[in-house]
Amino acid sequence: MTYPVSILRWGLCRRTVAGVFAGLFFFAVLPSPAQSQINTIGKPMPANAAPSTQQTFRYFMVEPLSYDISIALYEAQGAVPLFERLAMLDENLDLVPGAARSWEVSKDGKKWTFHLRPGAKWSDGRTVTAHDFEYTFKRFLNPAEASPYAFFYYEIKGARAYNHGKTKDPNTVGVRAVDDVTLVVETEAPCAYLPYIMAFSGSGPVPRWQIEKYGRKWSDAGTFVSNSSYTLTEWQKGRQATLSLNRHYKGPHKGFLEKIVQIFTTETVGVAPYENDEVDYLQVQVTDLPFIEKHPKLKNELVRYAFPDTWYLFFQTRKPPFDNLKVRQAISHAIDRETLCRTALRNTGVPAYAMLPAQFPGSSEEQLKTIQRYDPVLAKKRLAEAGYPNGKGFPAIELWMGKASPQLNYVAQAIQGMLLSNLGISVRLRASEDKVYRDNMYQWNIPMGLGGFNADYPDPNNLLAMVWRSQPRGYGRQDWSNPVFDKLVDTAAFEVDSAKRLPLYREAEKTLVEDVGGVFLFHNLTSELRKPYVKGLKVNKYGYSFFTWIGMVHTHLYIGKR
């Protein structure tokens, strides 16, 4: 049967926090019928656009270790706009054609055929083919490449076995180019959300000829090749990188901006660079909010919105003391999420009691709120039942964080204080570099960690199975394992009928919350500063415009006349 471009519709919670949303959203600026100029790749510019010499968008980011996002997802976030996947996500996070102009699925739901857009070009002028996608998928599933997100593709036939080294033959992976413009992807069982996996940030193709010639250095400026509207033209190590329009791109997602400049930073910069017009967009830290909210100009350029993500505590559940469910329950009842969000987060988060945010497909957070509720009396009781009355005899524990922002520092300190006050447990905080943190997380070396995960696509499989389904050491984010949960998410993954699969995910999430696979803390509210001349951000169907490269923001942004 043929699937429409948009397979699933989803609802995103529009949280109500007093005074947060009023007057803060930008509205879409649509091109006028009368066009005054055309950019360097032939895209007509809106009538209110600034001259092409001013079409440069600047923002801060951590310098990537690589722009090879298919195998270095965490280290290559700046590469998201550089690769056009088979399918893409629009501002509503709905599916739209990308490198593939259409796709369909077989009657048994296990064979997907993607029809690539003929004539598509790489930034070096070569033709983009289905063979490039076949090579890419088999490359990042190769265990020798150690892609941290290989698990994302285990629905594909043979992907798990190949990635786990049970077979060394890449041809056992169910991805095959029939010809230059036809790619077939087979799944282990029916998989309704397969196109969302194809639209994932790491699913863009990579240039085999460059990799074979330059190895991992292929993604440096000068040897970099991409297939989207933008390509990497400059990388000044330690300073900045520049993404420029790709003159060979003729597809449906051409960008307006001539250049996107990524200015590297390793620390919290405050709002001074934004005030000095060094950047056009700035993600705001909680420490800067008091100043911004009182500033006569900046307060009008502040935008807040909910994006589906969840922050939580995870544990070494196979070692004492966290192998004891009562210990995990005690911690879940000892944390006051309302206070955490109000004070430590300054209302930039809303309390979380489960993994799926309210109104996310399959969410039952409202029904699950009491399971991990704040109840210090019950927390003390559970800890005593576990053999640690008032924390007596509880071992010294470290709470790990990645490279901490002020926001996460405040959260960790608040948790530290609540555990000491309510349980008598003393916890040491340990911040580490992001890569060190992730390597230890996947090796299950973190006794208690502060973790977060944001949705890659609008389906409960992403936030539940992708994070919590048990995997071998080195492949899973934590060691928690529950056979009931695993069976539920595995069954749901291959159930095409949403009326049957969503209840399975609800039951799985209930199992996760009751067994305290994680202690759920908050769902984030993103805070940003955007210059008034940054135009083209579309208001989505939920009533706000959010800034994320995942939603093809790079194809809509432009600099307006000042």
From 65-79, 201-215, 366-380, the region with the lowest mean pLDDT: 65-79
User: Phi and psi dihedrals of 241, rounded to 5?
Assistant: -130, 155
Q: What is the mean pLDDT of residues 171-195?
A: 96
CA-atom Rg of the chain in angstroms: 24
Q: Which residue would you say has higher pLDDT here, 544 or 151?
A: 151
20 pLDDT more than 70:
no
Encoded amino acid at 232, one letter: L
User: Which domains are assigned to the chain?
Assistant: 52-263+531-559 (3.40.190.10), 309-525 (3.10.105.10)
Mean pLDDT of the region 43-48: 96
The predicted pLDDT at position 458 comes to 85
Above 60 in pLDDT, residue 24?
no
What is the average pLDDT value for the chain, to the nearest integer?
91
pLDDT tens digits for 471-526?
999 888 999 999 999 999 999 988 888 899 999 999 999 999 999 999 999 999 88
Q: Are 478 and 314 within 8 A, CB to CB?
A: yes
Check residue 484 and give its pLDDT: 98
Helices and strands (H, E) in the chain, number of each type: 16, 20
Average pLDDT value for residue range 323-327: 98
Joined together, the tokens standing for residue 252 give: 């449906």
Contacts of 20 (CB under 8 A, 6+ apart): 304, 347, 525
Predicted pLDDT at 121: 98
Pairing between strand 259-264 and 230-236?
Answer: unpaired
pLDDT confidence of residue 528 = 95
The answer to whether residues 45 and 33 touch, using CB atoms and an 8 Å cutoff, is no
Q: Is the dihedral of CA 562, 257, 45, 541 positive or negative?
A: negative
227 neighbors 117 (Cβ within 8 angstroms) = no
- What is the per-residue pLDDT for 269? 85
What's the pLDDT score for residue 124?
Answer: 98
Question: Residue 184 burial (CB < 10 Å; 0-12/13-18/19+)?
Answer: middle
Contact (CB, 8 A) for 59 and 427: no
Q: What percent of the chain has pLDDT over 90?
A: 78
Cis peptide upstream of residue 351 (ω within 30 degrees of 0): no
**Nearest to 5, CA basis, from 196, 138, 273:** 196
More confident residue, 343 or 496: 343
State residue 540's pLDDT score.
82
Percent of the chain at pLDDT above 70?
93
User: Rounded distance, CA 261 to CA 54, Å?
Assistant: 12
What pLDDT, on the 0 to 100 scale, is given for residue 268?
77
**E strand or H helix at 534:** strand 534-535
pLDDT band at 10 (very low <50, low <70, confident <90, very high): very low
The reported pLDDT for the residue numbered 321 is: 98
* Each residue's pLDDT tens digit, 523-558: 998 899 999 999 999 888 877 788 887 778 889 999
Secondary structure element (H or E) that encloses residue 504, with its range? helix 498-514
Strand partners, 232: 243
- pLDDT value, residue 1: 41
Which pTM was predicted?
0.84
Spatial separation of the C-alpha atoms in residues 259 and 242, rounded to whole Å: 7
The mean pLDDT of 365-372, rounded to a whole number, is: 96
Instruction: Write the Ramachandran bin of 134: left for phi over 0, alpha for psi from -120 to 50, otherwise beta.
Output: alpha
